């Protein structure tokens, strides 16, 4: 993957962590970390987030495969633009996409199954259960994950889709790990600032992907036009 393509998933991951502070924060606070020391908390949360990112990677493989199939069908020029427009739309209409997805047939039953198993694992109080909690948490309804999957489709590659989602997941680590280590909650004023910043970052990533898609078209156009100019020998 081109190094310049690392920025969109990283920015998207950071925006996702801002979203998760409000959405996944209660789940993090529900983890039985109270009697643990700081290093134990860190090790436990690394297990949890590793499971979450592994789920993201698996989803990235599937959606990267989908993008590859669309590219084979001749739709590669519009994939990056579609992903960018999707993200800009999410930034403008934040929260609506999760509601729409939740109405899909069978999605409610699947979400109930995930939440039921999450509750069972949280009550188990076993060290290994944190990794499994992370695996299942990656399947919970989340608009930011849907946005990242749109980016994974735009890679048009199995490995590229997986890498995109792994980088997205790593981008969420700093803030969520800090939240776990501090063990507190953000003030209402801080949450209001986060609600403003998160869609801005999401929209920025969308614009980057749109620019990338437009650049593909421009490159094809330029390659078809003879270049006129002086050449030095």
CA–CA distance, 67 with 158 (Å, rounded to integer): 8
Residue 208 pLDDT exceeds 80: yes
Q: What is the mean pLDDT of residues 116-140?
A: 84
Q: Which pLDDT tens digit goes with each residue over 135-172?
A: 998 998 888 898 899 999 998 998 999 999 999 999 98
Of the chain, the percentage scoring pLDDT greater than 70 comes to 74
3-state SS string for the chain? CCHHHHHHHHHHHHHHHHHHHHHCHHHHHHCCCCCCCHHHHHHHHHHHHHHHHHHHHHHHHHHHHHHHHHHHHHHHHHHHHHHHHHHHHHHHCCCHHHHHHHCCCCHHHHHHHHHHHHHHHHHHCCCCHHHHHHHHHCCCCCHHHHHHHHHHHHCCCHHHHHHHHHHHHHHHHHHHHHHHHHCCCCCHHHHHHHHHHHHHHHHHHHHHHHHHHHHHHHHHHHHHCCCCCCCCC
Predicted structure pTM score: 0.81
CB contact set of 19 (below 8 Å; sequence gap of 6+): 142, 143, 144, 198
Confidence of residue 195 (pLDDT cuts 50, 70, 90): confident
**Mean pLDDT, all residues of the chain:** 79
Select, from the ranges 5-19, 103-117, 150-164, 207-221, the one with the highest average predicted confidence (pLDDT): 150-164
Q: What is the mean pLDDT of residues 98-107?
A: 74
Residue environment code for 200-213, b if the CB has 16+ CB neighbours within 10 A, otherwise e = ebbbbbbbbbbebb
CA–CA distance, 184 with 198 (Å, rounded to integer): 20
Confidence of residue 3 (pLDDT cuts 50, 70, 90): low
Q: What is the pLDDT of residue 226?
A: 47
Residue 48 pLDDT exceeds 60: yes
Parse the chain into domains and list their residue ranges: 3-29+36-219
Of the chain, the percentage scoring pLDDT greater than 90 comes to 22
Q: Of 62, 79, 61, give the one whose Cα is nearest residue 70.
A: 79
């Amino acid at each position: 993957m081109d190094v310049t393509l690392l920025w969109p998933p990283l920015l998207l991951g950071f925006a996702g962590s801002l979203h998760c502070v409000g959405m996944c924060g209660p789940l993090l606070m529900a983890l039985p970390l109270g009697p643990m020391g700081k290093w134990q908390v860190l090790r436990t949360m690394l297990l949890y987030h590793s499971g979450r990112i592994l789920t993201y990677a698996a989803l990235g493989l599937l959606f990267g495969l989908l993008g590859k199939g669309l590219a084979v069908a001749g739709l590669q020029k519009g994939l990056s633009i579609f992903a960018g427009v999707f993200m800009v739309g999410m930034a403008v209409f934040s929260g609506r996409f999760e509601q729409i997805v939740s109405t899909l047939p069978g999605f409610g039953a699947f979400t109930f199954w995930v939440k039921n198993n999450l509750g069972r694992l949280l009550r188990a109080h076993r060290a290994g259960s944190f990794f499994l909690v992370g695996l299942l948490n990656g399947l919970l309804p989340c608009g930011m994950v849907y946005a990242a999957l749109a980016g994974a489709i735009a890679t048009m590659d199995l490995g590229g889709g997986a890498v995109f989602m792994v980088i997205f997941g790593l981008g969420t680590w700093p803030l969520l790990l800090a939240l776990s280590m501090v063990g507190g909650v953000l003030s209402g004023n801080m949450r209001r600032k986060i609600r403003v910043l998160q869609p801005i970052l999401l929209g920025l990533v969308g614009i980057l992907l749109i620019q990338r898609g437009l650049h593909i078209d421009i490159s094809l156009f330029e390659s078809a036009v003879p270049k006129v100019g002086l050449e030095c020998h």
